[in-house]
């Protein structure tokens, strides 16, 4: 689609969550003109929904080495050790810089940052704000800082569609669709020799997710179309205790943090049986994937659409200990002080994404990625709780530092890489989400994944010539779902968040590898197996 208007800048940042805002601020500090493009308002994205906190070795008793160990264990042998090293070593300083910027974290009686523990961490290292409103506070502080800087322009309600490339295939800008009225309405182009993708998660690939509606994998799909490599797409974390809001409820669903189970809540079926007892030594506090799978199995055995979380023991502490979750329960007609909360697993986090090096560079020159849409390799096969906000912060800062050494070369943008013609029809979204939830969800098998792949192929035939937010997003969801399902079909083992019913064991002989995929000239998937060095004891 031809661009109706063009603008030029030094650095374009796509997305305004923790990763995008941090990258923008650091690029600005290096003296560049920065444009942030964001699909909705500047404060929308997963960041503001984050409840638990941000992990960093801030306690004098703790150390980056221990944080590294816990992260590698969660990643089940597939983490990039160098990336984890960067995360845990730079992490504490990055959090302190966030505090210096104005983010207010909860403090203990001595005035030190209060630290709590989450599943998989062997130390108290989760800093939190407003009890269970950490992401909202981080977002507030970053949005305030960015809005005070006149060198950063924010374009809201603007959907980035594709990357503009030069004759060498380097990124030189983006095409975007500004929704609404104004001098920049419709499809335009912004030119810059550095483009940072920070578009967040892929939650809307599935019928139910904790992610907001903007999480449609746009950055991953645009990067794929531009020829970039994506990795680890099969590793999707499903949160076990997401409030079940009825059989027809799709899209973003309310999360009930595992901290609620940490405070004594138990999982029961409709007959009151605590089915986690005997399944794992930690029962309800077993790792997230273990609990999610146990809930799914119990749902299948009983034919019930959800299980129940009994958190009545928290009693009068509810409004102060978990204010956000308490309000959300009340909004859905459940008073958790006296009633059980209906829960079922839902998509929560994507460990895979656009493959980057330790400084956020992708395989396309001039194109950088950070935050949930990126795959630095820190999460391996499963993300350790509260490492994602930290990853967004640390690696966005590193992109700023690399850009401070000089911008990539500016050249003429000649257009977008030719891709599949036609956009996916608006009515394809619900069947696509249902196919992915059924076939490539918490529990996978050769048969279930093949079923989803067949439906995706069929839906790919229903193209629509009406370019609008919904059809662009649907095409992006379809592109991400296609690679995700192909990788899930290829990986013949169970590891981390990838659970194959037909291959129930981890297979280090054949599968100590990461899958890295790019699109060939005819849109075909080209997948490479990247061997990961064995990590002692992991």
Ligand X SMILES: Cc1cc2nc3c(=O)[nH]c(=O)nc-3n(C[C@H](O)[C@H](O)[C@H](O)COP(=O)(O)OP(=O)(O)OC[C@H]3O[C@@H](n4cnc5c(N)ncnc54)[C@H](O)[C@@H]3O)c2cc1C
**Interior CA angle at 67 toward 66 and 73, to 5°?**
90
Q: Which is nearer to ligand X, 64 or 371 (CB)?
A: 371
Residues 215-234 that bind ligand X (CB under 6 A): 215, 218
Closest CB to ligand X among residues 223, 453: 223
In degrees, rounded to 5, the angle at the alpha carbon of residue 89 between the alpha carbons of residues 83 and 90 is 90
- Residue 288 catalytic? yes
The minimum distance between CB 476 and ligand X, in angstroms, equals: 7
For ligand X, which residue of 46, 172, 351, 356 counts as binding (CB under 6 A)? 46
Q: Which two tokens stand for residue 326?
A: 């308490």
In three-state secondary structure terms, 3 is coil
Q: Are 408 and 16 in contact (CB under 8 A)?
A: no
Q: Which of 71, 94, 210, 382 binds ligand X (CB under 6 A)?
A: 210
For 507, what's the count of Cα atoms within 13 Å in the CB-facing half-sphere?
14
Q: DSSP letters of 102-116? A: T----B-TTSSBPEE
CA distance 14 to 4: 20
Using CB under 6 A as the binding rule, the residues of this chain from 363 to 392 that contact ligand X are 371-372, 386-389, 392
Residue 535's CB is within 10 A of a number of other CB atoms, namely 18
Cα separation of 113 and 420, whole Å?
51
Tell me: does residue 162 bind ligand X (CB under 6 A): no
Residues of span 173-202 touching ligand X by CB under 6 A: 198-201
- Residue 45's Cα: distance from chain center in Å? 10
CA separation for the pair 250, 254 (Å, rounded)? 11
The correct pick among 10, 15, 83, 162 for binding ligand X (CB under 6 A) is 15
Q: Which residues pair with 158 in a beta bridge?
A: 178
Question: CA 260, 262, 265, 271 torsion: positive or negative?
Answer: positive
Among 17, 336, 360, 496, binds ligand X (CB under 6 A): 17
Minimum gap (Å) between residue 284 Cβ and ligand X: 18
Q: Which of residues 24-43 bind ligand X (CB under 6 A)?
A: 37-40
x/- mask, ligand X, residues 118-137, rule CB under 6 A, reads ----------------xx--
Q: Which is nearer to ligand X, 31 or 185 (CB)?
A: 185
Alpha helix segments (H runs only) across 405-507? 429-439, 446-459, 469-490
User: Residues 11, 13, 35, 50: which binds ligand X (CB under 6 A)?
Assistant: 50
Nearer to ligand X, 166 or 473 (CB): 473
Stretch that binds ligand X, among 95-103, 208-216, 269-277, 422-430 (CB under 6 A): 208-216
Task: Tell whether residue 211 is a contact of ligand X (CB under 6 A).
Answer: yes
Interatomic CA distance for residues 146 and 149, integer angstroms: 5
Residues 297-316 within binding reach of ligand X (CB under 6 A): none
- Candidate residues 18, 74, 205, 334; the one interacting with ligand X per rule CB under 6 A: 18
d(CA 57, CA 117): 12
Asked if 349 touches ligand X (CB under 6 A), the answer is yes
Cβ atoms of 213 and 28 closer than 8 Å: no
Pick between residue 260 and residue 453 the one whose CB is nearest to ligand X: 260
Binding mask 52-91 for ligand X (x = CB under 6 A): xxx-------------------------------------
Strand partners, 191: 8, 173
Catalytic residue among 125, 288, 383, 514: 288
Closest residue to ligand X: CB criterion: 17
Rounded to whole angstroms, the Cα distance separating 459 from 485 reads: 14
Number of residues that bind ligand X (CB under 6 A): 43
Buried-exposed string 224-259: b where 16+ CB fall within 10 A, e elsewhere = bbbbbbbbbbbbbbbbbbbbbbeeeebbbbbbbbbb
Shortest spacing between CB 70 and ligand X, in angstroms: 14
Q: Which is nearer to ligand X, 373 or 519 (CB)?
A: 373
* Contact between 361 and 368 (Cβ < 8 Å): yes
The residues assigned a catalytic role are 288
Interface with ligand X (CB under 6 A): 14-20, 37-40, 44-47, 49-54, 134-135, 159-160, 198-201, 210-211, 214-215, 218, 255, 349, 371-372, 386-389, 392
């Amino acid at each position: 689609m031809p661009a109706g208007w063009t603008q030029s800048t030094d650095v374009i940042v796509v997305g305004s969550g923790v990763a995008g805002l941090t990258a923008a601020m650091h690029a600005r500090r290096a003296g560049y003109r920065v444009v942030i493009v964001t699909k909705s308002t500047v404060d929308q994205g997963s960041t503001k929904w984050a409840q638990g906190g941000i992990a960093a070795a801030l306690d004098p008793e703790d150390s980056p080495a221990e944080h590294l160990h816990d992260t590698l264990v969660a990643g089940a042998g597939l983490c990039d050790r160098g990336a984890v090293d960067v995360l845990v070593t730079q992490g504490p300083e990055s959090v302190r810089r966030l505090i210096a910027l104005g983010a207010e974290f909860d403090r203990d009686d001595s005035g030190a940052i209060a630290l709590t523990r989450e599943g998989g961490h062997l130390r108290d290292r989760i800093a939190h704000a407003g009890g269970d409103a950490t992401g909202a506070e981080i977002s507030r502080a970053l949005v305030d800082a960015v809005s005070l800087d006149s060198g950063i322009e924010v374009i809201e309600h603007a959907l980035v569609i594709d990357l503009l490339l030069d004759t060498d295939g380097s990124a030189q800008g983006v095409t975007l669709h500004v929704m609404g009225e104004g001098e920049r309405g419709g499809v335009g182009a912004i030119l810059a020799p550095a483009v940072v993708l920070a578009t967040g998660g892929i939650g809307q690939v599935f019928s139910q997710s904790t992610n907001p509606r903007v999480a449609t994998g746009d950055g991953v799909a645009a990067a794929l179309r531009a020829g970039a490599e994506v990795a680890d797409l099969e590793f999707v974390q499903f949160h076990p205790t997401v409030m079940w809001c009825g059989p027809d409820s799709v899209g973003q669903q309310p999360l009930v943090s595992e901290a609620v189970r940490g405070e004594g809540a138990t999982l029961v079926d409709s007959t009151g049986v605590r089915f986690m007892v005997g399944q794992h030594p930690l029962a309800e506090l077993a790792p997230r994937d273990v609990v999610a799978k146990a809930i799914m199995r119990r749902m299948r055995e009983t034919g019930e659409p959800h299980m129940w979380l009994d958190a009545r023991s928290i009693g009068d502490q509810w409004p102060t200990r978990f204010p956000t979750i308490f309000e959300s329960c009340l909004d859905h007609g459940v008073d958790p002080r006296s009633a059980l909360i209906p829960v079922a697993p839902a998509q929560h986090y994507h460990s895979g994404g656009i493959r980057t090096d330790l400084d956020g560079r992708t395989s396309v020159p001039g194109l950088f990625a950070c935050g949930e849409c990126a795959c630095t390799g820190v999460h391996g096969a499963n993300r350790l709780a509260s490492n994602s906000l930290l990853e967004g912060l640390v690696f966005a800062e590193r992109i700023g530092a690399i850009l401070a050494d000089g911008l990539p070369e500016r050249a003429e943008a000649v257009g977008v890489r030719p891709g599949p013609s036609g956009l996916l029809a608006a009515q394809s979204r619900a069947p696509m989400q249902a196919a992915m939830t059924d076939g490539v969800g918490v529990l996978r098998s050769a048969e279930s994944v093949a079923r989803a792949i067949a439906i995706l192929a069929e839906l790919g035939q229903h193209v629509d010539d009406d370019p609008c937010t919904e059809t662009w997003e649907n095409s992006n969801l379809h592109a991400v779902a296609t690679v995700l399902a192909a990788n899930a079909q290829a990986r013949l083992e169970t590891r981390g968040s990838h659970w194959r019913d037909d291959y129930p064991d981890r297979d280090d002989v054949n599968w100590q590898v990461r899958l890295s995929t790019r699109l060939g000239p005819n849109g075909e998937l080209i997948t490479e197996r990247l061997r990961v060095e064995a990590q002692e004891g992991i």
